[in-house]
Amino acid sequence: MKIILWILANWDSIAVLLVALIGLIVYIRRNGIKTVKALLLAWITQVEAEYGNGTGALKKAEVAARIYAALPNVLRLFISESTISKLIESGLIYAKEVWAKNNEIAAAAKLIE
């Protein structure tokens, strides 16, 4: 009963704390995703050069492993496996656009001879 009375007496402070905590989590998650997006082009290009054609699942797993290795432990709590999968897929689409426009990057990925 004392706990309920304490919560009722301090509900405004609890609400502010919860809003601040949620804001912090959203901020951390967004910045983590921005960091991963910035690195994806390089990672995807490197993995494409290492593994070549016909190894899509292996390449995706390698990029996911690099993402997990780069993320701080705190971010790993807030970025799910499905989010990482979506990031890799969108990163691959972007990488293909860049490779089509820039022959030097495509050559680095061994996509052109």
> Which range is least confidently modeled, 49-53, 55-59, 89-93?
49-53
Question: What b/e string do you get for 24-55 counting C-beta neighbours within 10 Å, with b at 16 or more?
Answer: eeeebbeebbeebeeebbebbbbbbeeeeeee
> Is the pLDDT assigned to residue 90 strictly greater than 70?
yes
**Count of CA atoms in the C-beta half-sphere (13 A) of 15:** 5
> Is the pLDDT assigned to residue 113 strictly greater than 70?
no
What's the pLDDT at 105?
Answer: 74
19, 12 in Cβ contact below 8 A?
no
What DSSP designation does 93 have?
A: H
pLDDT tens per residue across span 3-30: 888 888 888 888 899 999 898 888 877 8
Specify the pTM: 0.70
What's the pLDDT at 112?
Answer: 52
> Is the pLDDT assigned to residue 46 strictly greater than 50?
yes
CA distance 19 to 8: 17
